[in-house]
């Protein structure tokens, strides 16, 4: 079990943007308690692409929710860009999420009655900013262009394919250029080719845009885009696999390591 | 069937809030219906009890048409009429008990004196005694006093009561032999009556006549035969004949408007319940569409699916109806206790629970529930098993409710209510108004879907500068399921429309009821008498001589017979009206017509009566006076005159009233003060007036009293109609909760993306506010239109419709406020959404 994240973080050239310190999340199930995440400590450097793998129920999605400030740990802390998000009030945590993070989920979570443009502009709208003109409008256009959805601005989500819907969700996560992108099984509902498009775009935002990406997946091909892969088991970090920044995203080395680990 | 029932129950249990809200909505709708039926039965029972208490075993009542009453000769003729076995004469007048008027600072509360022949009376009437003994057959100065009088004035058996008589006889003491048990048929409006032997009453009041005589027919005698015989024998004095059934019908007719109003309110409340059940079942079908599709795939037939939804509705209906019957009885009891203590406004003294009424209410409630659920049930059966397995099911048209169905239910409720409502068949022309209003409300339900979009956008635009995020998301939510939004708005609009219409009617009725005070009365104040005051009474000179009193103008109200119809009439001094600039004529010249009244042989007609009789200016009104026909020339037609018991009064001059139409004196005197001396003159006039047994009141005070009585009656209707508003509120809770639950994942994502809990709460509250504002705008518009229709079809004669702007403001604010209040729980659900669960929610 990995307990000290510092050596891993220290090996990176940039300071950590995200830290988990002895993170535990306990749920009440029936008359007993279940630790979905237990004592996890890790650090993610700015600009790094980190993936979490593991079987269903290993706690990887719960950990992602804790890291993104969507959920509160039972014990331990999460530090996002120098702020203890796990100790902030709900409102303060919400604002921090609004400014620093972008989420992509397996279910696209688009608002069905808003147009593509309006869905992508939502982070601005929620912040009370006008996305119809000026630099925000330019950001929406750029985000849409980055996922190849120009010309679909007026469409409603139900007029798009699943891949296009997920690209809208990705554009929405990218539009404010958040420091941290959190993606929970973003390719789980997509075919291979469409999933690859999404992963390519995530990698580009990290590699070219300097954004930090945290990906949860059970697909080794998706995890192979990451610089580092944490393997989770029963709520804990079982292993850390360092793949380094690679252009080809080949899953071979990762699969080989996973095989070595008996996974 | 058992399996379907189990499945239906589980569906209801799965959404406890929705189930409870729907049951509550049905219960309230049925409750108002049952309350209306119970009140209806109470009114019927009160009318029958009142007539029974007044008439006892009387077969026929002969009442004097003129104030002077029936003479001894007429009584003798009655006694010898073939077929008549018993003649029980009664003399009824109002008088003051001791101390005599003017002895104290205020007049004592008057009593109604009833003189009876103890022997004949006992044969027809059962005068129940609470204590003491009945009047002795030999007569004397003994009295029975009512319980209310005994309680109010501290009287007891063996004590004395002194009653003021005519100017010649003065006051006379009576020994109290017994206390009469309180009964609905007490002749005194406040239940303060004194019964004395007829001879003593006639002696006290210096008269030989009687007010009426109750007849008991001999064996074999028939009403028809006796009526025919009386026509031949009673030839000198005009009279009216009534059977107990006639009097019951008259009393019932006097409450017809009220009954129709509560029937309308009940129909609207029930329809509010129908809105709720329709909405609920539509939501359930939409929510369970995938399950239904899977059940269809697993082999469930369309018929079974329809049955499944109807069984769910049946459970809701049974629970709602059972609760509604209890709510209705409680509501009727509350209304009776609050608005009708001791018989008060409605005359209902006790709650009457009609088994047939309860059954009718239950059947209507259950029927409406099933009818409202039928469309969603049929729609559910059309869900394709293939569509249920695709991701596009949510966009399927089969999930959209068809509002036209509900309007059909609305229409069926109206027709069924009309067919089954007790006494509706007797309503005749009176039913035109509620039917017109009901039709209008039906129209509101039909047009609501078309107005929701534009109005919602307009109202949302007002909120956009302050709540841009919430406004944008609200707009998208309201169009997510236009049927659901329109249903919710429609229920609120219909309830508010009824409230606004009632408010407008209250304002207009108040204005109509008091307009005559300022438009017709030639004075600043009124002096009212409890008996006709002859115009030659010496005390009137004292009143006119009070410094600052410019003029004393007598007004006498009575009835005349024209072509077999009873018309209200009033004797006035034309010169006073002319000098005061009162009474606007729509036809005729005031300067000619008003002096003509004083000259005699002339009449001024209210426009409504002129229209009804087809009499133009210069025409001749043929009035039956005794056995003579008096011709009065129409010298003017006025939009509004003085109100009588059943309508506007025909105006005649005093010479005709006293010399030809049997009027004994004035009931009211209009006092005009010298300009600038009103305050001092009013103070000086007061003791002089009271010494003459006249009660002074300013026009403002009278207007206030009349307005308060109107307000009390409308407050009752408004209270019942408010229940429909509560049902609409439950509908809003239901709809908003469904809206939130349907968007859990969206809301979760929005929260993940930075929407604060406060923003999530505001989002739902803004949705509610927009729904409320749209409903309020449509409701207010429809309410004003309904009020105008009611006014145009007969309410508020001669008075421009007053929509009651205060009520309208209240309806607008109340509609939005109710909706925002109803959003409290759904908004809390939205604010408490757990992001992690929400984003994983499928």
Residue A142: in which H helix or E strand, if any? helix A134-146
Q: Give contacts of A122 with chain B, Cβ < 8 Å.
A: 750, 753
Rounded to an integer, the average pLDDT of B601-615 is 90
At B190-203, the pLDDT tens digits run 889 999 999 999 99
Give, as one character, the DSSP assignment of residue A243. Answer: -
Judged by average pLDDT, the poorest of A204-218, B176-190, B550-564, B616-630 is B176-190
The answer to whether B312 and B284 have CB atoms below 8 angstroms apart is yes
% of chain B beyond a pLDDT of 70: 91
Using CB atoms, pick whichever of B473, B745, B758 lies closest to residue A109. B745
A7 has a pLDDT exceeding 50: no
- E-assigned strand segments in B20-102: 60-64, 84-95
B343 has a pLDDT exceeding 60: no
Q: At CA B557, angle to CA B556 and CA B560, rounded to 5?
A: 120
Q: How confident is the model at residue A3 (pLDDT cuts 50, 70, 90)?
A: very low
Q: Determine the residue among A37, A72, A122 to mutate to test chain B binding: the one whose Cβ has the most chain B Cβ atoms within 10 Å.
A: A122
At B404-443, the pLDDT tens digits run 676 777 777 777 766 666 655 555 555 677 777 778 887 8
B403 has a pLDDT exceeding 70: no
pLDDT of residue B520: 83
Q: Tokens at residue A68, please?
A: 């993104």
Rounded to an integer, the average pLDDT of B262-287 is 78
B344 has a pLDDT exceeding 80: no
What HEC string does B779-829 produce?
Answer: HHHHHHHHHHHHHHCCCCCCCCCCCCHHHHHHHHHHHHHHHHHHCHHHHHH
What is the spatial distance between Cα B745 and Cα B761, in angstroms, rounded to a whole number? 15
Q: Determine the residue among B750, B836, B840 to mutate to test chain A binding: the one whose Cβ has the most chain A Cβ atoms within 10 Å.
A: B836
**DSSP 3-state of A39:** strand
The answer to whether B335 and B719 have CB atoms below 8 angstroms apart is yes
Give the nearest chain B residue to A71 (CA atoms). Answer: B836
Please report the ipTM that was assigned to this predicted complex: 0.78
What is the spatial distance between Cα B725 and Cα B783, in angstroms, rounded to a whole number? 14
Does residue B563 or residue B675 have the better pLDDT? B675
pLDDT of residue B142: 94
Helices (H), B351-431: 355-381, 385-388, 403-420
Does residue A112 sit at the B interface (CB-CB below 8 Å)? yes
Q: How confident is the model at residue B495 (pLDDT cuts 50, 70, 90)?
A: confident
pLDDT of residue B398: 53
pLDDT of residue B553: 93
Does residue B353 or residue A42 have the better pLDDT? A42
Give, as one character, the DSSP assignment of residue B87. Answer: E
pLDDT of residue B47: 81
Q: Do A122 and B480 touch (CB under 8 A)?
A: no
At A205-245, the pLDDT tens digits run 999 889 999 999 989 999 999 999 999 999 999 999 999 98
Q: Give contacts of A62 with chain B, Cβ < 8 Å.
A: 836
Does residue B254 or residue B423 have the better pLDDT? B254
Q: Do B745 and A125 touch (CB under 8 A)?
A: no
At B780-820, the pLDDT tens digits run 999 998 888 877 765 445 567 788 888 889 899 999 999 99
**DSSP 3-state of B223:** helix
CA distance A133 to chain B (A): 15
Rounded to an integer, the average pLDDT of B58-82 is 88
Scan for tokens 């420091």, then name that residue.
A179
DSSP class per residue in B170-183: --EEEEEEEEEPP-
A10 has a pLDDT exceeding 50: no
Q: Do B480 and A71 touch (CB under 8 A)?
A: no
pLDDT of residue B428: 52
Does residue B338 or residue A65 have the better pLDDT? A65
Does residue B839 sit at the A interface (CB-CB below 8 Å)? yes
Does residue A27 sit at the B interface (CB-CB below 8 Å)? no
At B824-842, the pLDDT tens digits run 999 999 999 888 877 765 4
Residue B638: in which H helix or E strand, if any? strand B628-638
Judged by average pLDDT, the poorest of A250-259, B253-262, B279-288, B385-394 is B385-394
Using CB atoms, pick whichever of A94, A99, A128 lies closest to residue B469. A128
Give residues 188 to 247 of A whose Cβ lies within 8 Å of B: none
Q: Do A103 and B746 touch (CB under 8 A)?
A: no
Q: Do A125 and B472 touch (CB under 8 A)?
A: yes
CA B727 to chain centre: 22
pLDDT of residue B421: 64
Q: How confident is the model at residue B346 (pLDDT cuts 50, 70, 90)?
A: low
Nearest 5°: phi and psi at B302?
A: -60, -40
Closest CA to B771 of B376, B279, B398: B279
What is the spatial distance between Cα A89 and Cα A111, in angstroms, rounded to a whole number? 27
Rounded to an integer, the average pLDDT of B628-641 is 89
Q: At CA A195, angle to CA A191 and CA A198, rounded to 5?
A: 150
Q: Do A109 and B839 touch (CB under 8 A)?
A: yes
* Residues 6 or more apart in contact with residue B163 via CB below 8 angstroms: B95, B96, B97, B98, B111, B113, B143, B171, B172, B174, B194, B196, B204
Q: How confident is the model at residue A6 (pLDDT cuts 50, 70, 90)?
A: very low
Q: Determine the residue among B464, B746, B754 to mutate to test chain A binding: the one whose Cβ has the most chain A Cβ atoms within 10 Å.
A: B754
Does residue A113 sit at the B interface (CB-CB below 8 Å)? yes
pLDDT of residue B300: 78
Residue B739: in which H helix or E strand, if any? helix B699-742
A179 has a pLDDT exceeding 90: yes
Give, as one character, the DSSP assignment of residue B108. Answer: P
Q: Do B754 and A98 touch (CB under 8 A)?
A: yes
Residue B91: in which H helix or E strand, if any? strand B84-95
Nearest 5°: phi and psi at B801?
A: -65, 130
At A127-172, the pLDDT tens digits run 888 888 889 999 999 999 988 899 999 998 888 988 899 899 999 9
B393 has a pLDDT exceeding 70: no
**Bridge partners (DSSP) listed for residue B503:** none
Judged by average pLDDT, the poorest of B217-231, B701-715, B761-775, B809-823 is B701-715
Q: How confident is the model at residue A5 (pLDDT cuts 50, 70, 90)?
A: very low
DSSP class per residue in A204-218: HHHHTT--EEEEE-S
% of chain B beyond a pLDDT of 90: 25
């Amino acid at each position: 079990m990995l307990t000290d994240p510092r050596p891993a973080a220290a090996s990176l050239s940039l300071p950590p943007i995200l830290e988990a310190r002895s993170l535990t999340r306990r749920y009440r199930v029936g008359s007993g308690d279940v630790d979905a995440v237990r004592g996890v400590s890790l650090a993610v450097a700015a600009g790094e692409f980190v993936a979490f793998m593991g079987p269903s129920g290993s706690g990887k999605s719960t950990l992602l929710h804790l890291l993104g400030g969507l959920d509160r740990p039972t014990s331990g802390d999460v530090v996002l860009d120098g702020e203890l998000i796990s100790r902030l009030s709900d409102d303060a945590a919400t604002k921090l999420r609004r400014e620093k993070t972008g989420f992509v989920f397996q279910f696209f979570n688009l608002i069905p009655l808003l147009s593509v443009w309006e869905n992508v502009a939502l982070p601005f709208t929620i912040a009370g900013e006008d996305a119809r003109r000026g630099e925000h409008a330019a950001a929406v256009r750029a985000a849409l262009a980055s996922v190849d959805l120009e010309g679909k601005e007026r469409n409603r989500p139900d007029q798009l394919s699943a891949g296009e819907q997920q690209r809208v969700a990705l554009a929405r996560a990218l539009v404010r250029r958040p420091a941290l992108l959190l993606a929970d099984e973003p390719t789980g509902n997509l075919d291979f080719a469409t999933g690859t498009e999404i992963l390519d775009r995530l990698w580009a935002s990290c590699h070219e845009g300097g954004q930090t990406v945290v990906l949860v997946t059970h697909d080794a091909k998706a995890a192979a885009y990451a610089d580092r892969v944490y393997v989770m088991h029963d709520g804990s970090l079982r292993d850390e696999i360092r793949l380094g920044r690679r252009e080809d995203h080949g899953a071979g080395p990762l699969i080989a390591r996973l095989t070595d680990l008996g996974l | 069937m058992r399996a379907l029932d189990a499945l239906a129950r589980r569906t209801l249990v799965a959404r406890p809030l929705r189930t409870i809200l729907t049951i509550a909505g049905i219960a309230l709708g049925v409750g108002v219906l049952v309350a209306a039926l119970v009140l209806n039965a109470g009114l019927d029972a009160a009318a029958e009890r009142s007539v029974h208490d007044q008439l006892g075993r009387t077969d026929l009542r002969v009442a004097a048409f003129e104030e002077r009453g029936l003479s001894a000769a007429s009584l003798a003729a009655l006694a010898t009429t073939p077929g008549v076995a018993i003649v029980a004469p009664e003399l009824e007048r109002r008088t003051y008990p001791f101390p005599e008027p003017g002895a104290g600072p205020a007049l004592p509360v008057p009593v109604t004196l009833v003189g009876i022949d103890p022997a004949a009376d006992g044969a027809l009437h059962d005068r129940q005694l609470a204590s003491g003994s009945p009047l002795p057959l030999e007569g004397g100065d003994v009295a029975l006093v009512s319980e209310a009088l005994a309680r109010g004035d501290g009287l007891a058996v063996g004590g004395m009561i002194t009653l003021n008589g005519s100017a010649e006889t003065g006051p006379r003491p009576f020994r109290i032999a017994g206390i009469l048990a309180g009964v609905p048929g007490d002749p005194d409006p406040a239940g303060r009556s004194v019964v004395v032997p007829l001879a003593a009453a006639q002696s006290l009041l210096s008269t030989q006549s009687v007010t009426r005589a109750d007849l008991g027919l001999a064996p074999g005698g028939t009403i028809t035969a006796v009526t025919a015989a009386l026509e031949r024998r009673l030839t000198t004095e005009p009279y009216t004949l009534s059977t107990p059934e006639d009097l019951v019908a008259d009393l019932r007719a006097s409450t017809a408007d009220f009954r129709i109003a509560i029937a309308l309110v009940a129909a609207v409340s029930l329809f509010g319940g129908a809105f709720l059940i329709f909405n609920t079942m539509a939501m359930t079908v939409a929510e369970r569409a995938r399950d239904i599709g899977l059940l269809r795939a697993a082999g469930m037939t369309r018929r079974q699916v329809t049955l499944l939804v109807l069984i769910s509705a049946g459970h809701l209906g049974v629970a709602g109806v059972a609760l509604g019957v209890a709510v209705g009885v409680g509501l009727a009891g509350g209304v009776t206790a609050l608005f009708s203590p001791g018989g008060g406004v409605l005359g209902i003294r006790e709650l009457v629970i009609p088994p047939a009424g309860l059954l009718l209410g239950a059947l209507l409630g259950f029927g409406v529930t099933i009818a409202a659920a039928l469309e969603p049930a049929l729609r559910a059966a059309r869900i394709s098993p293939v569509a249920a397995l695709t991701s596009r099911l949510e966009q399927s048209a089969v999930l959209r409710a068809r509002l036209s169905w509900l309007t059909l239910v609305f229409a069926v409720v109206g027709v069924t209510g009309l067919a089954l409502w007790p006494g509706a068949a007797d309503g005749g022309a009176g039913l035109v108004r509620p039917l017109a209003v009901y039709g209008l409300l039906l129209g509101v339900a039909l047009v609501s879907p078309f107005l929701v979009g534009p109005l919602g956008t307009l109202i949302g635009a007002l909120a956009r500068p302050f709540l841009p995020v919430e406004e944008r998301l609200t707009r998208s939510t309201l169009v997510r399921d236009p049927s659901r939004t329109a249903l919710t708005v429609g229920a609120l609009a219909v309830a508010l429309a009824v409230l606004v219409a009632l408010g407008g009617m209250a304002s207009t009725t108040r204005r109509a009821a008091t307009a005559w005070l300022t438009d017709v009365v030639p004075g600043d104040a009124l002096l009212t008498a409890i008996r006709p005051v002859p115009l030659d009474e010496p005390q009137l000179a004292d009143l006119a001589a009070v410094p600052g009193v410019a003029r004393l103008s007598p007004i006498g109200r009575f009835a005349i017979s024209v072509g077999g119809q009873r018309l209200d009439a009033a004797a006035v001094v034309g010169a006073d009206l002319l000098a005061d600039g009162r009474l606007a004529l729509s036809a005729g010249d005031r300067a000619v017509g008003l002096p003509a009244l004083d000259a005699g042989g002339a009449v001024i007609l209210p426009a409504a009566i002129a229209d009804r009789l087809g009499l133009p200016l210069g025409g001749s009104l043929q009035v039956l006076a005794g056995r003579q026909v008096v011709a009065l020339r129409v010298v003017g037609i006025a939009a509004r005159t003085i109100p009588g018991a059943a309508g506007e009064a025909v105006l005649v001059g005093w010479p005709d009233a006293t010399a030809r139409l049997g009027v004994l004196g004035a009931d009211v005197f209009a006092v005009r003060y010298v300009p600038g001396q009103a305050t001092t003159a009013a103070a000086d006039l007061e003791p002089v007036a009271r010494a003459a047994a006249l009660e002074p009141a300013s026009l403002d005070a009278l207007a206030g009293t009349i307005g308060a009585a109107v307000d009390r009656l409308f407050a009752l209707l408004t209270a019942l109609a408010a229940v429909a508003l509560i049902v609409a509120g439950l509908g809003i809770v239901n709809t908003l909760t469904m809206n939130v639950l349907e968007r859990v994942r969206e809301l979760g994502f929005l929260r993940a993306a930075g929407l604060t809990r406060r923003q999530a709460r505001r989002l739902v509250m803004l949705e509610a506010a927009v729904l409320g504002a749209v409903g309020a705008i449509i409701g207010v518009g429809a309410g004003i239109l309904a009020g105008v229709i009611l006014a145009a079809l007969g309410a508020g004669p001669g008075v421009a419709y007053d929509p009651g702007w205060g009520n309208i403001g209240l309806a607008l604010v109340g509609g939005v406020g109710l909706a925002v209040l109803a959003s409290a729980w759904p908004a809390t659900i939205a604010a408490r959404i757990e992001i992690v669960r929400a984003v994983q929610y499928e």
